[in-house]
A and B are shown apart, each in its own frame.
Chain A
């Protein structure tokens, strides 16, 4: 029972991480109609900026602020310089351009920071583990990730449902031309939305620093899973991204955790381990296929 609870927490934490990346991706795709493959690179920018600041200043707060600021700045610069020219073009052009941005940002980061993975310490206040479940110490840092993720989700909901900016965002997603005809600077709005998406990716990157490996190419590792989350949740829907991320996080973690023991009951040791490994790797893609079969536009489509 304690093991199940621990694994549920693990799934929740993975889901929260995925949500931060997927929220930006889905906003940009749903509202601006742009497929941004470079979302993973913004995550990398956030992680590197956070790691560099933490190493130089030793301050976790500065590292956090600097990391998300760097990612947002790079994201907005990218929107101004590259994406602005692509809104009227097809998805293929956008994919090519943002793929090019991945190569560009990876190489730029190699020249700036080198190929060696960076060391990032857990902030002293978040070190150690607490026994929220008796007998199972759980790392405080992972609990903090879960808390931050849920706060961000709530904040995004408030922003989009309750503020004037959020209203414009929703209106822009529904009918771009009408919003422009009413005198709203839609280009500025797009830059802001893209910056927000980049900021969330940067936040994920800074938080990933002490847990994952901070190195060039780290964004591509997590990008595919993030797209799976967006597709499951319904493209353009932040609510969908949250549900999709939680679902993917939990399914992936629980399959990896319990499938081998379940299969061992049926077949022999090493074979069961190998088969379970294979099935667990397929798990989230199977989930995506099933969701698409039942609800072809995802769980919470934005423009239903």
Chain B
């Protein structure tokens, strides 16, 4: 209930810079830029996720000299404060008053659920850089709705597959008590075939996990899977290590529980964890190496996978523009262009499945000491190839 709302000064600055760059070229000055509306979380406990998506997206535009796929663009950024109602208001303004035809940016599934119907009813396009709940991948899929990230469950399926590959027989599962937490455990169990000793749903406002940690110690599992995004995970991991469990019971988690920002905040406590992910900053893909270097040079921090998704979303939109979709009055032309997935993804292989969600490879990462002695996420092995999602079959497009 207590989050801040407001327009972000940095977003406005970024927008101003983008408008300025096409003006520098007189030949293009008469072509009005395509406006893209970004609704994302820049305040509240999930603020760094939205910040990374925005910064990744802005980096792609900057590298294109203010253009995506050769078309000048202007990005408008607004903060949803992790509140569905606030996101819906912004969306109504974007598609109603501002007549924006392309939206992106939402971090959290509950905000997306409130925003998406308005966007699609107005005939506009939404390209998701993160939140991709199951209903919009299956029954409620739509020609104007795209996910460039993954379907929510896939993250946790990759963790389940990693636990299966590592040969863990008895596991203890924990997740925050909300829709994504329940989806997480369902996704994990889809791939993990061993015994589940216990499932705990923790409160979303919980800061102390001592009671749960004592239960894990008493159950003596081979490994623990847990889903606690952002600050919740930081508190959980610190307390897990302080309770001496890190040496006794290894953790296998999905990317949202262990990104590079979480890792920096947790430090040594994360050593030895296994993470299932679709991308990591050490990927040996030329596009990825260039992206990581440019991001570090511009923002002076390691990009999380959220930043990478923001970047890839901008590139995917650029691909659609390049392939005849630059006029968003014709969303079918945009769709044809987008379906080609004509861009050099930082993940390497990337294509869209029949429900316009990614089909991609998944990898097992491990937290190890890097060359500088600090803990770092290191890519170990590919665990799933050309993996789509479980809901594509329900989608009729």
Contacts and interface: CB of A to CB of B under 8 A. Distances in A.
Interface in A94-136: 99, 102-103, 106-107, 110, 114-119, 121-122, 129, 136
Chain A interface mostly helix, strand, loop or mixed?
helix
Contacts of A115: 42, 47-48, 51
Identify the 5 closest CB pairs spanning chains A and B, nearest first.
A10-B210, A213-B231, A277-B201, A213-B234, A115-B47
B211 A139 contact: no
Interface string B1-19: 1111010000000000000
Given A3-B214, A217-B44, A260-B215, 11 more contacts: A106-B4, A115-B42, A115-B51, A119-B264, A129-B244, A139-B243, A213-B230, A213-B234, A253-B208, A256-B211, A257-B215
Interface in A11-46: 11, 13-14, 17
A17 B243 contact: no
Interface stretch (A85-93, A154-162, A218-226): A218-226
Given A110-B47, A119-B267, A260 B244 contact: no
Interface in B219-236: 230-232, 234-235
A140 to B, nearest CB: 9
Interface residues of B, number: 46
B226 to A, nearest CB: 14
A269 B42 CA distance: 39
Contacts of A119: 264-267
B208 A116 contact: no
Nearest to B6: A107
B205 A224 contact: yes
Interface of B: 1-4, 6, 42-45, 47-48, 51, 177, 198-203, 205, 207-208, 210-212, 214-215, 217-218, 230-232, 234-235, 238-239, 242-244, 261-262, 264-267, 301
Contact of A257 (B48, B214, B239): B214
A117 B261 contact: yes
B243 A129 contact: yes
14 contacts: A7-B210, A7-B214, A110-B47, A117-B230, A119-B264, A121-B267, A129-B244, A212-B208, A212-B231, A216-B44, A256-B211, A257-B215, A274-B201, A281-B203
B231 A117 contact: yes
A137 interface: yes
